[in-house]
Chain A
Amino acid sequence: MAALTGAAAIVTGIPISKYVIAPSLGKGDGKWIDLGEIGGLAAGKVQMVAYEFMVKDGWLVLPQKGFVWVKSDGDGKLTVFSSICTHLACNVIWREDAGIFECPCHSGRFNLEGKPVAGPPTRPLTVLEHKIEEGKVKVLLTV
Chain B
Amino acid sequence: MKNSENMSQGLLKLLALDHAVDFLKNTTISSDALTWKRVCGSIATVLVILLFLSGAFMALYYSPYPGAAYDSVQYAEFDLPFGDVIRGIHHWSWNLLLVVMLLHMTRTFFTGAYKPPREMVWVSGVLLLLVVPLAIITGDLLPWTQAGYWTTRVRVSIISSVPVIGPFMVDLLQGGPRTGIVALTRFYVLHVIFLPAGIISLLALHFYFLRLKGLADPIMPSRLPKRNIALLPDMINRWLILFIVVTLAIGIATRFWFAVPYGDPADPSDSRFVPKPEWWVLFLNQLVSIFKGPFTIVGSAVIPGALAGLLLVLPFISRSPERRPVRRWKEILVAMLIAAAILGLSVMSWIEHFTSTVA
Contact = CB atoms under 8 A, between A and B. Distances in A.
Given A25-B171, A106-B289, A90 B153 contact: yes
Interface size bucket, A side? 35 or more
Given A91-B271, A104-B358, A106-B352, A62 B181 contact: yes
B274 A90 contact: yes
A21 B352 contact: no
Given A90-B275, A120-B292, A58 B181 contact: yes
A57 B176 contact: yes
B198 interface: no
Contacts, number: 85
Nearest to B174: A24
Interface string B170-188: 0110111110111001000
26 contacts: A24-B171, A28-B177, A52-B269, A55-B178, A57-B176, A57-B181, A58-B175, A58-B181, A58-B185, A60-B180, A60-B181, A64-B268, A65-B267, A65-B269, A66-B268, A67-B271, A87-B292, A88-B157, A89-B154, A89-B157, A90-B274, A93-B271, A102-B358, A104-B358, A105-B274, A122-B292
A82 to B, nearest CB: 12
B158 interface: yes
A8 B82 CA distance: 46
B269 A66 contact: yes
Nearest to A60: B181
B349 to A, nearest CB: 10
Interface of B: 66, 150, 153-154, 156-158, 161, 168, 171-172, 174-178, 180-182, 185, 267-269, 271-272, 274-275, 288-289, 292-294, 352, 356, 358
A57 B294 CA distance: 32
Given A57-B182, A90-B150, A65 B275 contact: no
A83 interface: yes
A62 B268 contact: no
A126 interface: no
A26 interface: yes
Q: Which 6 A-B pairs have the closest CB atoms?
A: A65-B269, A122-B293, A89-B157, A24-B171, A58-B182, A57-B180
Given A67-B271, A89-B157, 7 more contacts: A21-B172, A57-B176, A57-B182, A67-B269, A102-B358, A107-B356, A122-B292
Nearest to A93: B271
Interface in A100-124: 102, 104-107, 119-123
A100 to B, nearest CB: 12
Nearest to A121: B292
Nearest to A108: B289
A64 B101 CA distance: 40
Contacts of A48: 271
A141 B112 CA distance: 56
Contacts of B177: 28
Given A88-B288, A89-B157, A122-B293, A62 B358 contact: no
Given A59-B181, A62-B181, A83 B271 contact: yes
